[in-house]
Structure 1
Amino acid sequence: MAKTGMMARLSELAKRLSFPAASVMLVLGLGLGLALPQTASAQNLFAPAIRVNGEIITGFELNQRARMLQVFRAPGDPMQIAREQLIEERLKLSAARINGVIPTKEEIETGMEEFAGRANLSTEDFLKVLKGAGVERETYRDFIISGVAWRQLVRAKFGPRVRVSDADVSRALNNSGDANVRVLTSEIYIPLRPGKEAEAQALAERLSKITTISAFAQAARKYSAAPSRGRSGKVNWLELNKIPPALRGQILGLAPGQVTQPIPVPGAIALFQLRALEEGKRVTPDYAAIEYAAYYIAGGRTPEALGVAKKIENRIDTCDDLYGVAKGQPAEVLERGSKKPNEIPRDIAMELAKLDKNEVSTALTRANGQTLVFLMLCDRVIDLGEDVSRDDVALSIQSRRLASYAESYLAQLRSEARIVEK
């Protein structure tokens, strides 16, 4: 009875908090026969499990972190990831203390609030969900402290070395003058399923830290909902000026192999990896507006709906022909218009970037996958377009360079550390 009551309370709490109840119950193993592996017997739970340069990580800390990772639905073995994270965090906190970096109470609370906000929860509501899964407040707080301290240390230690010149920004914005920039990217679209938004966000955050093309390709095959998953997420060469302005700065701030931060799009979270960048000699214009048509077909990506889309594609030549297809149907089945590039939904804008005039894409869906989008590029209106903010591009370049310094510094700390595991 006690277990049943606890399950009901957790389920109800999860519903009210828009948090996945299944993940909460998975951690506790209530009614499912699941339990997290223990690193030590109960009486030795607080005994040292790992020593990092003499600093202790207990079995209790390992179990707590693994539980929290299960709540986040982090891919992989939660106990192994917990070991790696806690070892790295001991190294990060030690380095921060040595360099005089100690986050204030206000900075820690802000960090806790910001992370909880990614799941659309307040700090206290987020803590209630964690508590229901057996995760103590201190476990979450320690997780945040290490992240805040490390970011502050990296900025203090390497910030003065990172100088983004005007030439760096100009090169990143090199979509004018006598040079044309093309980018080779890969993509992952993680679907946002009702009640599992926090899971999707946690997965996206994890995948955004990928630094190799092979790892991103593997993740695309496993997690992406886009048709490109069959090609390991790979997209053909795209001219930079056809990519949505808000996304250009993020992509141009990447080095090959690096991934953008998670980008919200309708019904999904998108990630883009830069595989290569090429500068040519052909001048291409920016665009003031993109004209496109979207015809909505019931059935999502079912064979029947895709068959309807193929028949329509075979019988039309231009966007105007879609008026005949939609004749006699409700007005909302056909959307036709001309919009500025930054006003177009990002997923649609990325698909349009892949198309030439009068070409079609059936890669997108709406209504939680129940409606197929028959997307057709009608025209691009040439103009000077909207400039990407130089400040945004400079910030993106600086962030990526700092991340590179941070990765090298952590690798150095790890190589010099004395780590003893029980």
Structure 2
Amino acid sequence: MRHFLPGFALAAGLFLGAIAPAVAQNPFEPVVYVNDRAVTRYEIAQRARFMQVLGTAGDDATVEQALINDRLRLYAAEQMGIATTEEGMQTGLEEFASRAGMSAAEFTEALGQAGVEPQIFRDYVEAGLVWRAVVRQRLTAQITVSDAEVDQELKRQIETPVISRVLVSELVIPAPPGQEQAAMNRASSIAASVTSEAQFAAAARQYSAAGSAGAGGRLNWVDLENLPPSLRPILLSLSPGQVSQPLTVQGAVILFFLRDEQGTLRPGAREQVLDYMTLRLASAAEAAQIAARTLGCDDLYVEVGPEVAPMITRQTQSQNAIPTLIATQLASMDDGETGVVSYGGAADLVVLCSREPALLAEARQEVATTALPDDGVEAAVPAADALPSRDLVRDELFNRKASLAADAYLAELRANAVIRRP
């Protein structure tokens, strides 16, 4: 599956200028064969330039592996009779170039200024296009996303704070004309080797040209909204203690180390909706006896029998709409657990069927069909757009599964391929 850096990084990288060519006696010498298809030194050098323009450059071994993977993708497509049309190829080129705010022709011209042949761009896009078709034809029919998985993902998002501030360190490596590759190699080496803030700080003191170098690259807390929009997803993709991939900008390569982050829950995220049952009985002792035999909400109907079952009340309510004594009892209960609320003489047998965030209940749009009128659920959900739609979450989960399936299939292709050195 392809990965693209934000458009501003692409555009900045395109105008760093041509990169000094690698020295090789025979640039067209095969380096490795993949199912009898050669990968040459020239292709490796060209792909390395192309990836540097995109801001994702790596060492020769990384570039070689990327080309091997592309050979495997093309091989799989050929075996399935999948090929790109000229119209499909042009659409793919235009779509890719648009990420840098350019047309395909403008992007190709800019690549030429950086020393990248047009065919390298076409080969890269073609491998992505046919692989997309392979995955769609071979794998996607086997992928399903259940409603329960969508609920679980929405619940995870509800319970995860929305990051509003980050505490980062920076390392800015100068990349004057002619030294871009050396700067990228150094940044890649640092990103691969740093495992702690102390190591990043030492590297910043040694290599960074930023004013923060003396402080180990440390910056103060910064509000996420104050950062450039293209930089936000890069920092949000990191967990505290992680280093970003090298980011190419005009005249420099930048690394970020995330030291900490702060966030707040969505409005209404702490509000819960409870699905529960109550049954009024003559005494606490009787309620306790039935409670001891009851294993969950459905089981309660069986335990009390058909004559008493109609007396059971089942409700879905937000916390602030549940009577205080019952709400207090439910607060310490797990799904399927029973409890007794005694009123001296009579008592309520209480069974908790389920609890979930009010935002999730609203997103599923089920509350109106199960809750009593004016139960307070709507008040617990301040905004309909507080969460992504269920369809969007389903698509994200589907794409995540498809990506994992594609990676597994690529690994299978690699294991079955004949990969040899000359």
- TM norm structure 1: 0.48
- TM norm structure 2: 0.48
**Greater CA radius of gyration, 1 or 2?**
2
